[in-house]
Amino acid sequence: MNSRRNFLSGAGAITGALAAASVSRVALAALPEPVIQSKPDTMAPLVPDSGRPYNPVVTLNGWTLPWRMNAGVKEFHLVAEPVVREMAPGFKAHLWGYNGQSPGPTIEVVEGDRVRVFVTNRLPEHTSVHWHGQRLPNGMDGVSGLTQKAIEPGKTFVYEFVARHPGTFMYHPHADEMAQMAMGMMGFWVTHPRGRHPLIDQVDRDFVFLLNAYDIEPGSATPKIMTMLDFNLWSWNSRIFPGIDSLNVRQGDRVRIRMGNLTMTNHPIHLHGHSFTVTGTDGGPVPKSARWPEVTTDVAVGQMRQLEFVADEQGDWAVHCHKSHHTMNAMGHDVPTMIGVDHRKVVRELTDLIPDYMVMGERGMADMAQMEMPLPDNTAPMMTGQGPFGAVEMGGMFSVLKVRRGQPAGDYRDPGWFKHPAGSVAREVAGALPDAPAAAAPGTGAMPRQAPAATDVEVQIRKPNGHAGHH
């Protein structure tokens, strides 16, 4: 959790409210020095050392952008630029982001803060920043062409507005959006309430991340930006399992998890071992009378959700997208279904031709997670992760909520694997088993068929092209 933070050192006052317009050379010399992050680790929460107090969030595999107070205004400096993002150990992607990482840093402010964000464009094309969910003057909304001129390469613009409403927000370009978001340009924004708020509870842990997706061919590093649906990397904050850090909390903690979806499809996010309520969206806090318990909540495209629960059960609890294809990494989609196919004869013939031919998927796909398959350089395995009991066989949008009695308050370090109390783990049954009747009897229905089938026919279905397109 060591961060290499170059704290703000820029000096000099910037006077007057600059509209979303190009900053002059003179003003540029007075900009806050941009803070760059070189690591993809989850950084410790940034406790505010100026401005109004608040309880900071923790960005999963990310960080919060430091600011400078300038005559009562909170000043931030975002730099849009190409970055190299480690999406998982051994796999780096060439993305676009902000201040050294994709997503960019989380911005945290307090309700009522006057905020000034400088945006420098070091991309090869123009950009802009839209402040998703904020209530602000129209000219600060960041839609290039509509509310401002695009920020050309090499230029710096400034946005300035009052963070009027507390809540869970994000930022992203509103210029060449398809390409720029497919390349990873996005970041989280949290506006904390000013003092007590009737609909916003105080929590002990507050995690944030964005749901994003990439299409990067195995062995390459740059996303294919024309992909509309067939992404092969489903990520949280541009990290894929097992590269996503665990969410480490103390038993009894009130926990908030905030997320926003900038992919091209919805993600039903599922938490094991607990139930939660959705306490807010990017539209604001949800009235208490409109909250109900859930264990899965769908985050649709362009939506943000904040979940809250009391972490009252110790253990290592999975938290993941419930679309099973979103807990897989690249290579998952052009493999035919082979379950039930007997390869033995064909393998004998094939190995005469190709000595190291390998059979995949004859008994399901779990074999793949155990197999040491040769992979091209710079590729994440499709299903992987080694847990205390063996292979976890996951990828993509998957992590673990670790609830521990002994986790100190404010400590986000990984406590290691859960030590289960004796006799509390599912185990193999020993000894003789009773005979179970085989399921040979035909099923029933609402009414009889018109004419009964003469003989039972077993249908073997093999999809012709895998299942590309089902998303």
Binding site for Cu ion (CB under 5 A): 267, 321, 323, 326
Min. distance of Cβ 213 from Cu ion in angstroms?
8
Min. distance of Cβ 267 from Cu ion in angstroms?
3
Give the residue with the Cβ less far from Cu ion, 57 or 269. 269
Min. distance of Cβ 326 from Cu ion in angstroms?
3
DSSP 3-state assignment of 218? coil
DSSP 3-state assignment of 289? helix
Min. distance of Cβ 279 from Cu ion in angstroms?
21
Give the residue with the Cβ less far from Cu ion, 121 or 297. 297
DSSP 3-state assignment of 200? strand
Give the residue with the Cβ less far from Cu ion, 28 or 300. 300
What's the CA gap between 46 and 462, in Å, rounded?
53
Q: Which residue, 340, 53, 304, 355, is CA-closest to 188?
A: 304
Strand bridging mode 107-110 / 254-261: unpaired
Length of the chain: 471
Residues 190, 168 contacting (CB under 8 angstroms): yes
- Tell me the DSSP string of 122-142: -SSS-B--EEET----GGGS-
Min. distance of Cβ 191 from Cu ion in angstroms?
27
Give the residue with the Cβ less far from Cu ion, 194 or 325. 325
Min. distance of Cβ 327 from Cu ion in angstroms?
8
Give the residue with the Cβ less far from Cu ion, 281 or 327. 327
Min. distance of Cβ 265 from Cu ion in angstroms?
7
Q: Which residue has the tokens 């806090």?
A: 285
Give the residue with the Cβ less far from Cu ion, 157 or 214. 214
Give the residue with the Cβ less far from Cu ion, 266 or 337. 266
Q: Which residues pair with 59 in a beta bridge?
A: 208
Cα–Cα distances in Å, from 192 out to 89, 108, 286, 369?
Answer: 33, 7, 15, 42
What's the CA gap between 457 and 68, in Å, rounded?
73
DSSP 3-state assignment of 118? strand
Q: Which residues pair with 118 in a beta bridge?
A: 77, 158
